[in-house]
Amino acid sequence: MKKVLVVLCVILLIVFVVSIGVGSVFIPPLRVLKVIFSLIGFKVPGVNQMDLTIIGQIRLPRIIIAMIVGMSLSVAGALVQGLYRNPMADPGIIGTSSGASLGAISCIALSFNTISIFYLPLFSFVGALGISFLVYKLATKDGKTPILNLILIGIAVSTFISSINSLILSNINQYQVSEYIFWMLGGLDSRSWTHVKISFVPLVILILCSLIFAKRINILILGEEESYTIGVNPERLKKRLLILVSLLTGIAVSVSGAISFVGLITPHILRLIVGSDYRKLIPASILGGGIFLIVCDTIARVLFSPIEVKVGIITSIVGAPYFLYLLKKRENEVTI
């Protein structure tokens, strides 16, 4: 297991440095490292002002956002898959994505996004958190939250919210519609140090918190009766996991837009490598999610350069066929 984590750390470091150098102006990895050390405060010879501007002001904050958002969505996906005991679940199933969309479109319709860059992330975060709690409350009866109730109510509420979004979309102007579409496609263009400041520390804290639940998720997967026997209260654990997933997803999509399939693909692939023990799967998902989104963002920037593709389109192109493969695989297993 340690070897897998070391390999993932090395891959993450490589893609982080290489992706910073890739773009309309190519900067070799060694120069990238020199600039990063220079920005940290070390005296490094041979660093020019142009490299400092390109890396320090444009690419570095964007790659940091890609890494932390990828980590957050991936670990949120792993937690949801453990909660539902289903490797095909992702955070959207509890209404987080639809809630964030409702928050974003409300912000755009009210033109708050033109006042400050903080309003769109704030509205989408509040929407994600609010709808997640609504789904949880509706699914809870007599202090218990059956998983089937969560899934069905999550689907119903998400469908209802989608209708509300469509209603709002049909009553806003063309410019606002295009703003919302850009948000829905998910993108990391124009991400700045401001976005890093408002999202990095809370996401790192939440990611570290997810490690605390690894052992208890392993017990929850055994079944609710077994959990009670071993001393784990499954209802309390479910509630805490839902709060954690809502916060992780809500803050992540508030700075990146709706990026799909990261929470489905990376935990599932890494489960095939490290197994289903959450003490291994969560750390691997954290690193894997960062790698995956940095790579997708780099592809989005260079694929049709100088035109930039939204990173959400790249993750969907990769994720949708993989999801269909999982469905087909499961269907064959059921048939057998």
pLDDT given at position 331: 61
- Any residues with CB less than 8 A from the CB of 12 and at least 6 apart, and which? 67, 287, 290, 291, 294
pLDDT given at position 260: 80
* Alpha carbons 132 and 91: distance in angstroms, whole number: 10
How much is the pTM? 0.87
pLDDT given at position 16: 95
Amino acid at site 142 = D
Amino acid at site 40 = I
> Tokens 């990828």 map to which residue?
70
DSSP H or E run through 294: helix 278-302
* Alpha carbons 228 and 234: distance in angstroms, whole number: 7
- Give the chain's residues under pLDDT 70: 327, 330-336
Q: Which bin fits 231, alpha (ψ -120 to 50), beta or left (φ > 0)?
A: left
- Domain range annotation of the chain: 1-335
Report the DSSP beta bridge partners of residue 277: none
pLDDT given at position 283: 94
Q: Does domain 1-335 have CATH number 3.40.50.1370?
A: no
* Alpha carbons 96 and 323: distance in angstroms, whole number: 19
pLDDT given at position 332: 63
* Each residue's pLDDT tens digit, 306-325: 788 888 889 888 887 877 77
pLDDT given at position 245: 87
Contact 270, 285 (CB under 8 A): yes
pLDDT given at position 15: 96
* Each residue's pLDDT tens digit, 151-178: 788 888 888 988 898 888 888 888 888 8
- Torsion (CA) 14, 18, 19, 21 in degrees, nearest 10: 150
